[in-house]
Structure 1
């Protein structure tokens, strides 16, 4: 037995070198696809882009950024729907050594200005459809980044409107500044920051979640393995690329050398023709996407010539939605994740005997959050105090916790929040759940007061702050109200000041003027708020009340 101070025989003269080690980075996926399948369709939008073209455009972007002085540690923000430019940025920006910051296109100017300031954006690439909001946001930042306009040919065809030009040049002109032969290179350190994505969490100001190259590489591989992506797959972009970098499918589809079909907005009238014309095999989306497809008008639907796998997160789809989709030829898989873990980290792996169950029983099994990805080290439910695993009885509540390589680096400029999230060597999701006898996880409630509407996080505190700014509002509390279409919507319980009068429409309009529209309450109830003896609002009472409101 070797002394503690001595190296074992397996540690002597067996060093890491360029011959036997390379940093894990999703950049390697496009590098390989470009070489192996140069002529294969990589991206379909206004035209078909081959993998050779996608690789050249990503390298032009990296080169153009470098020539503008952008390098390691610099932030490049992109405000765009699911267009080729945003996909190219997922490779070109990190190839330049910089950090990609995809912006949520649903945010208002104030939130966008905060993100641009907090992330210290040096470059902003923005689609002209969002020019009015971006223009207002830029007026609120202390230092204006280099602004580049995306002028997408399909803007009007896919339901958008072109706004004013805000930048000194457009995206295609910027690419022309770059070298298509800019060399592929991996980061020296796979822990290097790759992406910066913001989540509203439980506070008004968004938190900046930092991804590293290693985690993105592994989660992308996890997506390909879990959902059977290969070079014959065709992935339709119904999930926003800005959301957890498209759950890392931006890189996962490329790793499989599959085909990306871009789509600016989700509309059944656009989705069904693309599924048919492009032979789509996979798509993802929040419950609202499934509801759109399940309840699409008969004149819009097309018969599916082949099965289409649909991956959904957030609230589990109701049995009626599952039944409608299965009749059309869709196959539904329920996944669970957060921005902090690169999107989905667990999924409900189907078991062979589930096919023998009736629809309600099968839907109940499918509603669970399931088991961890092969690329995640651990996912389980722990007692938040002792960090011991709860019994597998389907009843004992604990907190869902994760750990492994596909958990974020941490929160940008927020060490206390990072420390809290990683306390005890686990990532604390804030979601409460149980373990079933088969080891499957099921989330039962949220410990955080976050409302998930249409796949987007809404901070109840942020909405409450807006309500308190109304001159007639004395007290306010906001909770989630179940909604068949959106999963959840904000429901506001409001106490007015003495002698004040207001209508629900007035309160909602005020919130829409002061928040991103999707964050505004859909329902307003005027009443006294239930409180504990110490004056704390009893939100659990309000949640139950919200469930009974039609």
Structure 2
């Protein structure tokens, strides 16, 4: 089924029920259908045709999901853009995707215009009725892969619809359920959560941003019963001072990717709700989940079992660690403009996640590290090659390598090893100058937290830096490095 069909079906079934709940505005299922028709008409009036790519660069406002779904009604393809992107990362996304138009706000419009991409100015037009099939592309969802710059995962209408139906069946929605979203809509999670609620006929309450201090107050305010968190969010929530109303919300299930095993039981005890693991990726959607009744998994790090239609294996003997691979349905069609990367990712008919894992005696898969050339900073994936490319533009930099180093709060932080050009001194001011350059070109979360100067690098036969030599396990990676986290630009 296509997403426009899901919208019209939901508008008929659930009509005047509240659906999208924002701070100052609530839209019903019928409102959704009406407003997305109007926006689809505006897009068509400004020249958008089936197959065109339309970027969306907005904060968590009603116009984000409305624009996304309107683009799909127009038969076009959505390119979600992180609002924290600046010239370098924005240029890559817009150029690679071939976006012909953008939907944005006055705050971000100048950035898009600098890249030569016009913004939506029409407000209405005749409603287009293109033929939209389940296998047509819906999103170019950019993700940091194993190497190189972020690549666009080509996601179909069926990918989204299948994910939404699978999650709706897993959640067993109730009439009084409310899903709460705290992540930016440009990410995968608010999108699948919204479509899950569309299928289930329940409201989705969208927060402007994640706030550790305000998260549970928002849950109480909205009467939220379901939510999803990831990355540093659990630890940041747990570090908040205990509150007398911690157990006063209606929350009945918290889904989370990478629940800290040592805190799992304490998280459940403090907020009075089960926390259950969910594992997947942009490329493959939902791959593993732990059912609410599986109390024996609490604190074990188990990531669960595959949903119907998916197979997940570990390329190793039972009990041994190996790469986690996935096949089945749904799955991305491939990486846009990267046929070789697509072929490599699907070698042998399985999608190679780059994650390492092992299977326990109960059949559950556990995470055990990664093989990817990237940094996982909280909930953000950072392409090492992308940051290295920007750092290398600085006139003082001869060569550079970005690597992840362990961090208690964020899981990993990016550290840059820098070889300087002759005539430049390896001091704190040089490190600050290099990082200041990066801040002007990249989103804040991609900026190195530490800089270490080196006289040279060990290279592979193909003249690539051997990063494994930079991260000796016994070494304190902060010792000898310049800490630049939080320094002014």
TM-score, normalization by structure 2 = 0.87
Q: Which consecutive unaligned segments of at least 5 residues does structure 2 have? A: 480-489
Name the CA shift for 1:308/1:484 in 2 (closer, same or farther; >3 Å). Answer: farther
Partner Cα separation in structure 1 for residue 70 and residue 172 of structure 2: 26
> Within 5 Å, which residues of 2 pair with 1:137-286?
137-141=112-116, 144-145=117-118, 147-148=119-120, 168=121, 174=123, 176-177=124-125, 187=132, 189-244=133-188, 246=190, 248-286=192-230
Q: Is the 8 A contact 2:146 2:354 kept in 1?
A: no
1:416 counterpart residue number: 340
Aligned with 1:333 (options 272, 276, 282): 276
2:444 counterpart residue number: 517
1:502 counterpart residue number: 427
1:475-526 deviations in Å (ceiling 9; x for gaps):
4332212223322210223344566232144443333234222111112234
2:482 counterpart residue number: none
| Structure 1 stretches of at least 4 aligned residues deviating more than 6 Å after TM superposition | none
2:84 counterpart residue number: 106
2:274 matches 1:296: no
Partner Cα separation in structure 1 for residue 98 and residue 467 of structure 2: 39
Partner Cα separation in structure 1 for residue 475 and residue 195 of structure 2: 40
Partner Cα separation in structure 2 for residue 543 and residue 197 of structure 1: 35
1:80 counterpart residue number: 58
Name the CA shift for 1:278/1:547 in 2 (closer, same or farther; >3 Å). Answer: farther
Partner Cα separation in structure 2 for residue 380 and residue 290 of structure 1: 27
1:430 counterpart residue number: 354
Name the CA shift for 1:526/1:301 in 2 (closer, same or farther; >3 Å). Answer: farther
1:16 counterpart residue number: none
Name the CA shift for 1:517/1:476 in 2 (closer, same or farther; >3 Å). Answer: same
1:392 counterpart residue number: 318
1:544 counterpart residue number: 473
1:162 counterpart residue number: none
2:33 counterpart residue number: 55
> Within 5 Å, which residues of 2 pair with 1:367-406?
367-374=301-308, 376-382=309-315, 390-393=316-319, 395=320, 397-406=321-330
Partner Cα separation in structure 2 for residue 76 and residue 277 of structure 1: 34
Calculate the aligned-residue CA RMSD, in Å.
2.8
Q: Which consecutive unaligned segments of at least 5 residues does structure 1 have? A: 1-23, 149-167, 356-361, 383-389
2:372 counterpart residue number: 448
- Partner of 1:190, secondary structure, is coil
Larger radius of gyration: 1
Name the CA shift for 1:116/1:465 in 2 (closer, same or farther; >3 Å). Answer: closer
Q: Is the 8 A contact 1:493 1:524 kept in 2?
A: yes
- Partner of 1:451, secondary structure, is strand
Partner Cα separation in structure 1 for residue 93 and residue 189 of structure 2: 16
> How many pairs were matched up?
473
2:276 matches 1:347: no
1:320 counterpart residue number: 263
1:12 counterpart residue number: none
Q: Is the 8 A contact 2:213 2:237 kept in 1?
A: no
Name the CA shift for 1:128/1:540 in 2 (closer, same or farther; >3 Å). Answer: farther
Partner Cα separation in structure 1 for residue 472 and residue 436 of structure 2: 23
Deviation at 1:528, TM superposition (A): 5.4
1:480 counterpart residue number: 404
Q: Is the 8 A contact 2:264 2:275 kept in 1?
A: no
TM-score, normalization by structure 1 = 0.78
Q: Which shifted more, 97-106 or 195-204?
A: 195-204
Partner Cα separation in structure 2 for residue 488 and residue 140 of structure 1: 32
Q: Is the 8 A contact 1:75 1:122 kept in 2?
A: yes
Q: Is the 8 A contact 1:283 1:308 kept in 2?
A: no
Q: Is the 8 A contact 1:107 1:516 kept in 2?
A: yes
1:306 counterpart residue number: 250
Partner Cα separation in structure 1 for residue 25 and residue 421 of structure 2: 58
1:68-123 deviations in Å (ceiling 9; x for gaps):
33221011211112222121233222111111121122222222222222222232
Q: Is the 8 A contact 1:479 1:539 kept in 2?
A: no
Q: Is the 8 A contact 2:181 2:207 kept in 1?
A: yes
Partner Cα separation in structure 2 for residue 533 and residue 425 of structure 1: 29
1:335-394 deviations in Å (ceiling 9; x for gaps):
22221123x322234664617xxxxxx32x2x23332222x4211122xxxxxxx3222x
